[in-house]
Amino acid sequence: MRQFDNSTIRQLSHETTISHSPTETSKLAQDLASQIKPGSILALCGDLGSGKTTFTQSLAKALGITQRVTSPTFILMRQYPLPQSSGMFYHLDLYRIGSPEDIKSIDLEELIAEGTNIIVIEWPEKIETILPPHTLKIYFKTTSATTREITLSSL
């Protein structure tokens, strides 16, 4: 279940980009979309309003998903078919959960094990202990009203 090859993860690790607008955040997501494969897991960390959902929407669009991608804050997870693939694009928002036990109903470990899905998780800190080592962590830091510092790192 190799989604990013080792050289790609090394290249991406600790790479920081300064985004001055939602458009620039979207461009970063589009660039990353060309490098991820089914089986990839992206863990998005950052405060409310730091750009995680904008990034996810742009990533999904760049992967060919035509449906409107909205945050699953109140339902934990939304899923969208990946074009030209048997897998799904899963978008999880774990802001409201208290522990990994709270997500048992969605069987995240099985979704990961399938190896055909792309999984994007907002607020992954709450389940970090169950994420596999090939997870790509993306940190969003608000540095001003319009500027974000976005850092890519492996787990």
Is residue 84, in this structure, part of any structural domain at all?
A: yes
Tell me the pLDDT tens digit for each residue of 107-122: 888 898 898 999 999 9
Of the candidates 27, 65, 25, 63, the residue with the CA atom closest to the CA atom of residue 44: 25
Distances (CA, A) of 115 to 41, 55, 91, 110: 10, 22, 15, 9
What is the number of structural domains in the chain? 1
Would residue 12 count as lying in a domain?
no
Residue 101 in domain:
yes
Residue 129 DSSP class = G
Domain that holds residue 61: 19-149
Q: Does residue 13 fall inside a structural domain? A: no
| In-domain check, residue 112 | yes
pTM of the model as a whole: 0.87
Percent of the chain with pLDDT over 90: 54
* The Cα angle at residue 134 between residues 131 and 1, in degrees rounded to 5: 100
In a domain, 62, yes or no: yes
- Residue 76 within any structural domain of the chain: yes
The predicted-structure confidence for 43-95, as pLDDT tens digits, reads as follows 999 998 899 999 999 999 999 999 999 888 788 899 999 998 889 999 999 98
pLDDT at residue 11, as a whole number? 55
Cα 128 from Cα 108, distance rounded (Å): 12
User: Is 89 buried (19+), middle (13-18) or exposed (0-12) by CB count in 10 A?
Assistant: buried
Q: Is 9 part of any domain?
A: no
The CATH code of the domain that includes 35 is 3.40.50.300
